Amino acid sequence: MSIDKDTVKHISKLARISLDEKKADTLSKDLTSIITFIEKLNSLNTDKVDPLTSIINASLKSRKDEVKDGKIRDQILKNSPEKNDEFFVVPKVIE
């Protein structure tokens, strides 16, 4: 499949992108090479190939979903310009 310059101009008009003649010609060639590559990939036989989520053949290790305090509340509150006991004080926002 080949994408001609008129198709590129039509797509650019739909996308509201301004293109000059030189850029439209370059995009036409680039898009044609991309479509040709995709057609080559589609012609490959992948019936016996398992889908991959990663190139590493390993499964993810599960861990328990535990809530942890972290015990660093005082260190975090040191970053606050103003605090009220255990909480940050933020300005009131009402619209």
- How far is residue 58's CA from residue 66's CA, in Å, rounded to a whole number? 24
- The residue with tokens 């103003």 is 82
Q: Give me the chain's average pLDDT, please.
A: 88
Instruction: List phi, psi (to 5°) of 83.
Output: -140, 160
Task: Flag whether the pTM goes above 0.85.
Answer: no
pLDDT digits (tens, 9 = 90+) for 9-29: 999 999 999 999 999 999 999
- Are 46 and 12 spatial neighbours (Cβ–Cβ below 8 Å)? no
Is the model's pLDDT at 2 over the cut of 80? Answer: yes
- How far is residue 30's CA from residue 78's CA, in Å, rounded to a whole number? 55
pLDDT digits (tens, 9 = 90+) for 24-48: 999 999 999 999 999 999 999 999 9
User: What's the CATH number for 5-43?
Assistant: 1.10.20
- The residue with tokens 């590129």 is 8
